[in-house]
Structure 1
Amino acid sequence: MISDGSFRLDGKLALVTGASRGIGYSLSKELAARGAHVIAVARTVGGLEELDDEIKAAGGTATLVPLDLTDMPAIDRLGGSIHERWGKLDIMVANAGILGTISPIGHVEAKVFDRLMAINVTSVWRLIRTTDPLLKLSDAGRAILLSSSVAHAARAYWGPYAASKAAVEVMARTWAEESQQTRLRINSVDPGATRTAMRAQAMPGEDPETLPTPAEVAAKIILLCDPALDVTGKLYDARADKLLSYNDPS
């Protein structure tokens, strides 16, 4: 257990990418339920509007940002807009990502590889770059970058996606090292197998009823937003509810 979960986030500002469905959708609802104002980012306007309706119905608030994460200048402008309107950011969750294709690495089309890296890696770097100064203005900045267990296994046919998540974890660790003397805490998350559309795409024969829901996984990830949490540069295994150091053989 990394937190007892009793904390509130009243007055906090949280940015979540990939907020229109899956883990990002559920995590946005969790943040709003604890009092945070959520900046919900996604391409799918309909999903964002449904999220907004649910957050409002529960008494929370959100700002919707329809944005394609391949539009890198738009990510830069987002940071500027947050600074102009709110002056800081308390929580950033880099959740959005795509699977690409599960195939031999030599058979992956160049355009598929390039798009996967743009969304899964380059957009995360742009997000880090634009939110870092804002998060450091918070009295308890928290950054969470979604990863995967495949980042640590050279699994056949998963090369591009695995490489993208390994890159994200290295960026998170580097950022954490560079921010040691600040109040910003940065961690990666391996959510484990979750009942999402991406999981169904990757494992079409799997029974989704055997997997935890996005809401169940989000209820664990939210613990990394605890203002009292003094852990950085770690990997959170949501299935085991365990923080791992990168030199931890387990």
Structure 2
Amino acid sequence: MSSAVLEGQVALVTGASRGIGRATAVALAGTGAHLVLTARSQGGLEETDDLVRAAGGTATLIPLDMVREADQLDMLGPSIVQRFGRLDVLVHAAGILSRLTPAAHIMPRDWEESLAVNTSSTWRMIRTCDPALRVAPAGRAIVLTDRYAEQPTAYFGLYSAAKAAQAHLVRCWAAEVEQTPMRVTLVDPGPVATNLRWAAFPGENPLSIRQPEEVGAAIAKLLAGSPEHGATLRI
């Protein structure tokens, strides 16, 4: 991908310390955009930063726990605009499986954590990023979704409920900005060899499914073009 595709733009990637978030950050490093990377793990972010720099990119790291420091998300968008003058891209890759359990056995703490990371963080990201993305020349937002958001499956109720709420919220957001230059897209990458996937299917051979790097490259390609607005893309 040409290094000038997103030259001068600013891209925010959540969940950037590992998995698809990290892979997307590395893929975007070759587009010319300056990256703002956030995740809970400082060490993981620093490892991603090393990979981004090796790929010729630049990044600003913001360690942030979306559960314990949720209120700080509200200032993320304005802080980025204050520092860099703009925000053009959001890739919201942060997510958590929590526990696989019968619906009747879901514990309050697990319920609250799943909703906080999978749903409430999306609401907060929309609130904090929407003003800047609306005024960007070609604002882009990609939010990762999962087939379990649409396919009720035994023992996945905790995860599915949170991801379904997230997906509906993002689709509503897309409808609200339809008359602007913004593009808002849900992306379902299918089975990918991430920690979240391993937690759900620990016996699965990770080499038998897609790798995060392939998905990251596909997301970067989408952002370099004009992703279908309001759709759920399976890449």
Q: 1:39 aligns with which of 24, 27, 36?
A: 36
CA shift for structure 1 position 230 = 5.7
Distance in 1 separating the partners of 2:119 and 2:163: 8
Conserved in 2, the CA contact under 8 Å of 1:144 and 1:224?
no
Q: Deviations over 1:49-104 (max 9, x none)?
A: 11111211222100000000122220012122112112221100111010011110
Alignment of 1:178-197 (within 5 A): 178-197=176-195
2:27 to 30, 53, 77: 30
Structure-1 residue corresponding to 2:216: 218
Q: Which residue of 1 aligns with 2:158?
A: 160
- Residues 1-250 of structure 1 aligned to structure 2 (within 5 Å): 8-70=5-67, 71-226=69-224, 228-229=225-226, 231-238=228-235
User: In the TM superposition, what is the alpha-carbon distance from 1:8 to its structure 2 partner?
Assistant: 1.2
Using structure 2 for the length normalisation, give the TM-score. 0.96
**SS of match in other structure, 1:136:** helix
- Supply the distance in 2 between the matched residues of 1:230 and 1:103 (Cα, whole angstroms): 35
Change (3 A) 1:47 1:230: closer
Q: Which amino acid in structure 2 is aligned with residue 87 of structure 1? A: G
Structure 1 regions of 5+ residues with no counterpart? 239-250
Cα distance in 2 between the residues matched to 1:31 and 1:230: 15
State the one-letter code of the partner of 1:84.
Answer: Q
Unaligned runs of 5+ in 2: none
Could you state the TM-score of these two structures normalised by the residue count of structure 1?
0.90
Structure 1 residue ranges, 4+ long, deviating more than 6 angstroms after superposition = none
- C-alpha separation in 1, matches of 2:130 and 2:218: 24
- Larger deviation: 7-16 or 124-133? 7-16
Give the letter aligned to residue 219 of structure 2: I
- Report if the CA contact (8 A) 1:40-1:62 is conserved: yes
The root-mean-square deviation of aligned C-alpha atoms, in Å, is: 1.3
| Count of residues in Structure 1 that have an aligned counterpart in Structure 2 | 233
Distance 1:230-1:150 versus aligned 2 partners, 3 A rule: closer
Q: Read off the aligned partner of 1:232 and give its amino acid letter.
A: H
SS in 1 for 2:74: helix
Q: Is the CA contact (8 Å cut-off) linking 2:29 and 2:53 kept in structure 1? A: no
1:9 to partner: Cα distance = 1.1
Query: Hey, what does 1:247 align to over in structure 2?
Result: none
Bigger mean CA deviation after superposition, 147-156 or 72-81:
72-81
**Identity %, equivalent residues:** 45
